[in-house]
Amino acid sequence: MSKYFVEKNKGLGTVEIVIIIAVLVGIALIFRDAIVEFAKKLMDAVFSGNEVIDSIENIH
């Protein structure tokens, strides 16, 4: 019985992966504005130009 239990529960299954992805997408949607603002500041600091910032603002 214990050998069957150990062999059956090896690794991550599809359901676990789907749940993890759903949680990550949910968190990204909740913090969408903060993530976009962070990306804008990061792009501005790296590129110091408005082309990238303008294209990000036109997405939504």
Output the pLDDT for position 7. 59
Segments making up each domain of the chain, as ranges: 11-57
pLDDT category at 8 given cuts 50, 70, 90 is low
Q: What is the pLDDT of residues 35-56, one digit of tens each?
A: 989 988 888 888 776 666 677 7
Token pair, residue 22, equals 């759903």
Helical residues (DSSP H) of 1-60, grouped into ranges: 2-8, 14-30, 32-47, 50-57
* Cα dihedral value 32, 33, 35, 39, nearest 10: 130
Top pLDDT among 58 and 33 is at 33
| DSSP 8-state symbol, 58 | T
Average pLDDT over residues 15-31: 94
